Structure 1
């Protein structure tokens, strides 16, 4: 396998190959230098009564054909170079025609998956978010999404995937990254959420504390007080975790940080925070 001499991102010369994903990765910056590398080694999984050997990278939802498509060639000859019979040539002409029609049908999907890949790269989101978003978009296209641009649905699927894995990002970031209207993007997301209800895993308030503290710029002393208050807090939903953090910061800072400032930092209403503080 041929490796590039230097990483195009940082200029590094040391690479590591991820055989499971078929990728060549720069060890200095983590940039994916090469994708879809064919693995010519055997599949070491053992199946009873079978001896299987596979090649190629794993199936990926981020590719329009999942990486398992085939292409009908234009050469009217067999593997030995011998010309095909008239019947076989006619048969392969029909196959090429259908192959082109299917390719044209996938253009919208190709464009949407490319948008998702670009968004994930620009926002620094992990690969599993891209995979999940691509799967959500495929499922969404099977449902009725009239009046919603394909690009907005694709980006909304990325945002929904982030919410599922409790990766906190503002929808404004996605709208800015893709150049779409925030209102259209929000409407597409709400429609997606109806078909794919969120079931996020429980979140520990301690795990999101640092991000909120950095936004508010609170001192280390206040931060230690907040951590002391949250030390025994159990894992809850993301919204409840944000409410608990907001109340803890408000009380630990001796109310020097206003409820309005905290509400803006956690993207919650002041009323929601006030209800927790008053308990």
Structure 2
């Protein structure tokens, strides 16, 4: 079976077929240099429309295509605005000049400001860009629903970042979100609940293991202490020793117990500063766990301080 693929005919001068054609981009013509015959017209100039000062002459210049479009914006296209009036700009031949202008409505401007705030929060929290993108998508969905009118965009941005972190499996505490935003913890929690109700979505419940590795790393504790604290926190939850306590306070109390039984002792204040938990909260959770300390530690844990000598509070 014969192939149906055919090469397009080569453009050449009928009188001088071997002569290389000259492209005149100003006029948009292809001219034969021997006889001056215009062989082709309407040649598209793929170069830039302005001067560039790049030293890399052998690479392609992408300046002509402009900036990348943001799919989260409604008016991200380039529109042509025709200028009218007595002060109409003209070229050297007296023809009107048509300019492409980037137009943006107030809604897109508000979205851009919100996306910028979300990206800044992600940078302060050292989060990957996909977390900020998820938060930006949540913010746009909230804006389109128009159910949170009257709430400040900063509060919605902070709540969206909190939800995105939990949905992506890298949860952050409300205090951590509060520290990188201008909104109080109470307001972020209130908007967080409203967003979940508005978007009819849910988030996974946070556990002590979600924060354990990060807290131990920030405290400079070894892997042995981290494994012991993780086991202690999980057993305390399974044995219902800390009912009603937040996973963050349970994780902090477990780290305190594991560190006190090792040679890498940390105070309640040091742990509280990293976990964002008050010392009294850690103390209360620790007092609930201390009577069952023997059952909480893993069997292979190496004690530098016996359980009998652990602090009682």
1:74 aligns with 82
Where does structure 1 lack aligned partners over 5 or more consecutive residues? Answer: 6-36, 41-54, 77-81, 84-95
How many corresponding residue pairs?
A: 205
Aligned residue in 1 for 2:31: none
Inter-CA distance 273–202: structure 2 relative to 1 (3 Å threshold): same
In the other structure, the counterpart of 2:174 is: 171
Give me the TM-score of the superposition, normalised by structure 1: 0.51
Q: CA offsets, 1:29-82, max 9 Å, x none?
A: xxxxxxxx7899xxxxxxxxxxxxxx9958643xx238x524133258xxxxx9
Asked if 1:224 corresponds to 2:224, the answer is: yes
Relative to 1, partners in 2 of residues 1:273 and 1:160: Cα closer, same or farther, differing over 3 Å? farther
Shift, 1:120, TM fit: 2.3
For residue 106 of structure 1, give the secondary structure of its aligned residue in structure 2.
helix
5+ long unaligned stretches in structure 2: 1-47, 56-61, 85-94, 238-245, 297-313
CA contact 1:244–1:276 (8 Å) conserved in 2: no
Whose Rg is larger? 2
How far off is 1:153 after superposition? 0.7
| Distance in 1 of aligned mates of 2:178 and 2:248 | 26
Distance in 1 between the 2:175 and 2:116 partners? 20
Report if aligned partners of 1:226, 1:252 keep a CA contact under 8 Å in 2.
Answer: no
Alignment match, 1:247: 254
Q: For the aligned residues, what is the CA RMSD?
A: 4.8
Residues 1:148 and 1:203: Cα distance change in structure 2 (over 3 Å)? same
Counterpart among 104, 107, 115 of residue 106 in structure 2: 104
TM normalised by structure 2 equals 0.47
Query: Aligned equivalents of 2:140 and 2:213: distance in 1?
Result: 35
> Structure 1 residues 3 and 210 mapped into 2: Cα distance closer, same or farther (>3 Å)?
farther
Q: Quick one: distance in 1 between partners of 2:79 and 2:230?
A: 58
